Structure 1
């Protein structure tokens, strides 16, 4: 796909990987002119690498590569792009980096790992407050533990944390609903003019979108608690079928992962209980 100019100093190249989870495809952003920064190179598709390189003007070069998080639709092309351009890769850490103590303690029984780029490793780790060629790093875990957002002037590259077309998948232990709430509330309190997300159109009313996402998640939380009171102790899969009545069957497994993320958050806050260690098939009881 050809690049699109979104505003002065910002181009976008959309990867050809549309799906129910990626919408029209992963958005790769080219920031600046001359010596540019590429944000989220995207999936391992040679055609997308060619499209990124073709989007550069004559005499331009990629100076740095930034990755919001290491899912297979965002990070695998970082290494081929680095090899083609000599640019170093910057990210919070590898795919097993940064999990909260609650997520770390869950162990293997909780499942997860959907779409994780297990091979990803940045050349340089970056963290909260670092500034890279005018781009400020914000740590925004939730969708994934190593998720970053990048502030560029009054714009923000929000990765998969905040998108306009859909809510994000939060699948433990890589995703953490407690941290998701915290990160979205943090962005809600900022004054950014616009978000450029990992998928879909720019978010032109970002604070309102953050407010709506938090309200949506709190509604799901209330539905889960009500379902537990109505049908009694239940597993995440059962609750997803009960609550997500308008979702295509193929998307119910993802819905169940979101429900499990809510259940773990509620359990952490002592709103519900479960006997023994939390697993993907744990039976949760209303408090």
Structure 2
């Protein structure tokens, strides 16, 4: 029997949510994503100690630049073992600064270009705040494609598609966590609010022919992944990828491009902010995600200061 991982790859582009080169080489995903938390974890792996020192030595006295170089160097290593793209994230502390996000994204791409990596192999990850979405819109027009991340609401997804983002990363597991905690309910895969959020976004994008790719992210269990089989892409941790590889149960796609979505919406800034204000889960999880990435960015900087 074919494994569930191989079955899933027939319907969905599988992306590895890790910076672990050994795991990526073993599981052979199409693309890979990193973020400050994953880079911090990668920095503690023996295989990356050389890259850490090189980034430090090339940017002595500039910890921020060293962190950027390390992110790009890790991305370059990953690109040697995958056929597709690497997503590299802008410093989360810039999430509410459109200009700084735009400038940093261009600098990251310049670093990739200097390393011989072309734009079509990189996605710049940006938190889907209003400012981040506007920066992504500008970057897309400059030929720098983006991955808008930390998406917890339909408003974030709709605004990202209107901005022409190449890809969005709506989160599943963190939505599930919030509703389970606040409602005291353990959801089935079918009733999971995180799964339902991604399915809603997917149907909306297909109904209105948005080119923006939907990449479900942040999974807690196999059921969530199985319910989103057929989504454009899914970014999955090595642990869950391994579980899929070990299972031979039949996998049936649940999402199809012909499924009908709701009426189209065009959000101006005040409407976007109001929709976010009305969505307690999305507001809380977006803020929490930005804070977590910011803290891990600071821990990564501390590693450089200790070299």
Greater share of residues in strand: 1
**Structure (1 or 2) with the greater helix fraction:** 2
- TM-score normalized by the length of structure 1: 0.32
Q: Which has the higher contact order (CA 8 A, sep 6+)?
A: 2
